[in-house]
Amino acid sequence: MKRGLLLFAHGARDPRWAQPFEAVVQRIHAHAPGTPVALAYLEFMAPPLEEAGAALVAQGCDTVEVVPLFLGAGGHVRKDLPALLDRLRAAHAGVTWRLRPAIGEVEAVIEAMALAALQPAP
């Protein structure tokens, strides 16, 4: 099994918007240099999910964990993303695509946000 991580963010018109998402990718590379990671966007930015997912498959991944980099799970995470995943599943039948909870629903991320709100960086 070769596992890849497909991070899915909203996208925005301002290119500076993407900096935290690119920083998450860098941190993942630092912690797990051998794990293929791709970042994809719903709109305004490239690549789209289909293209980033295909790139992971081209790197040999047969299991891809799809991680929504959204704080809350609304229509984008509950409707748009599953529809896009269905297209990836249809295009790459031998690959397992696992949809994970929105990153903002993870306890450790909630705790980090609470502490950051209380204790601003110097």
Quick one: 55 or 99, whose CB is closer to its own copies? 99
Contact residues toward its own copies (CB under 8 A) are 5, 7, 9-10, 12-14, 16-21, 23-24, 27-28, 31-32, 35, 65, 67, 69-75, 78, 100, 102-118, 120-121
| 19-55 CB burial, b ≥16 within 10 A, e <16 | eebeebeeebeeeeeeebbbbbbbeebeeebeebbbb
Question: Which helix (H) or strand (E) covers residue 81, if one does?
Answer: helix 81-91
CB of 82: closest distance to its own copies in angstroms?
A: 14
Q: List the beta bridge partners of residue 3.
A: 63
CB of 95: closest distance to its own copies in angstroms?
A: 18
How many other CB atoms are there within 10 angstroms of residue 106's CB atom? Answer: 13
CB of 90: closest distance to its own copies in angstroms?
A: 25
Quick one: 35 or 54, whose CB is closer to its own copies? 35
